[in-house]
Amino acid sequence: MRFTGWDDKLFDIINTALCIFAFIVVLYPLLFVVSASFSDPLAILSGRVTIFPVDWTLSSYRSVFEHPMVMVGYRNTLILMVLGTSINVFLTIITAYPLSRNDLYGRNAIMLFFTFTMFISGGLIPTFIVVRTLGLLNTIWALILPTAISVWNVIIARTFFKSTIPDSLIEAGHMDGASNIKILWHVVLPMSKAIVAVMVLFYGVAHWNQFFLALIYISDRDQWTLQLVLREILLMAQITDMAEDNIGFDQQLLQAEGIKYALIVVASIPVLIIYPFIQKYFVKGVMIGAVKG
């Protein structure tokens, strides 16, 4: 269907208005959180904070970073994100690439087996028993190995390889005497920056936000992830410990209100910093299979 004349203009106006509305709906909560984190807690509770900070203060951030466990949580989460994402991406690529090849015998049966695990798993208690039996409790491996590979991401990567990497290119590599590993490393991966960026973002964000598994498997405070530390800071008893002696209950509530928004910013900044650098690959990667040609 082709629009002409006023129909085309009306479509452009409506489309632009909807895009602006969606932009505002997404942007305003982000601006409010950042502004609230730099505002006086009393101004937040009184509803005077909208877009810009009111009664500018860094007290909420000081309360957060003065907590002795914050840097420990940052360290553990950064290690988890880098190590875990590296293992995730490696396993996903070496699994998805063979499954995308037509000369792999039984690839459909293997894919069916993988897909089956997406719907039926061992469950929380059996998984906990396995992790404890392997001696992984209170180690970073308890957060990495149970989620070492995502079948959904394998399917995405497999689809990318099948639709993007020409079979003739693989055959040319074999004719030149290259092994499958050399073809994967020197031919396939250089052409797969988009899907690698998507995998890095998916896995990296998941590790950065790791909370549930850490809550189950990690009891040693020195191994806590950032999310566990931030959760503890939000508890009223912990806020009282950070506050000055003889502080009133009303003041505790005010501090808690400001700290809440500061924690959101602290937990989100690393991901917001990384995303712009891989945005162009991410947009290309998530469009896999959207257009058939």
pLDDT tens per residue, range 102-129: 888 888 898 888 888 888 877 888 899 9
Asked if 42 and 85 sit in the same domain, the reply is no
Asked if 241 and 131 sit in the same domain, the reply is yes
Q: What token pair was written down for 177? A: 């005497």
- Spatial contact of 107 and 99, defined as CB atoms under 8 Å apart: yes
Q: What is the mean pLDDT of residues 182-202?
A: 86
The more confident residue out of 175 and 5 is: 175
Q: In terms of residue numbers, what domain contains 9?
A: 1-57
The chain-wide mean pLDDT, for the chain, equals 82
Q: How many domains are there within the chain?
A: 2
Asked if 50 and 68 sit in the same domain, the reply is no
Asked if 66 and 36 sit in the same domain, the reply is no
Q: What share of the chain is helix, strand, coil (3-state, %, to 5)?
A: 75, 0, 25
End position of a domain, from candidates 57, 77, 92: 57
Asked if 230 and 288 sit in the same domain, the reply is yes
How many angstroms separate the most distant Cα atoms in the chain? Answer: 79
Scan for tokens 């082709």, then name that residue.
2
**How many angstroms separate the CA atoms of 173 and 187, rounded?**
8
Asked if 129 and 4 sit in the same domain, the reply is no
CA dihedral 189, 93, 159, 201 (to 10 degrees): -90
pLDDT value of residue 251: 62
Least confident of 7-21, 157-171, 252-266: 252-266
Asked if 7 and 73 sit in the same domain, the reply is no
pLDDT 10s digits, 86-97: 999 999 999 999
End position of a domain, from candidates 17, 38, 57: 57
Asked if 50 and 124 sit in the same domain, the reply is no
The more confident residue out of 256 and 69 is: 69
CA distances from 11 to 20, 21, 25 (A): 14, 15, 21
Half-sphere exposure of 97 (CA within 13 A, CB side): 22
Asked if 157 and 79 sit in the same domain, the reply is yes
Is 102 in a helix, a strand, or coil?
coil
End position of a domain, from candidates 13, 40, 57: 57
- At 244, which CATH number? 1.10.3720.10
Nearest C-alpha neighbor of 208 from the set 200, 196, 217, 216: 200
Amino acid at 280: K
Q: What token pair was written down for 115? A: 């897909």
Asked if 108 and 29 sit in the same domain, the reply is no
The more confident residue out of 262 and 131 is: 131
Asked if 213 and 247 sit in the same domain, the reply is yes
**How many angstroms separate the CA atoms of 160 and 194, rounded?**
9
CA dihedral 181, 186, 189, 192 (to 10 degrees): -140
Asked if 154 and 288 sit in the same domain, the reply is yes
Say if residue 224's pLDDT is above 60: yes
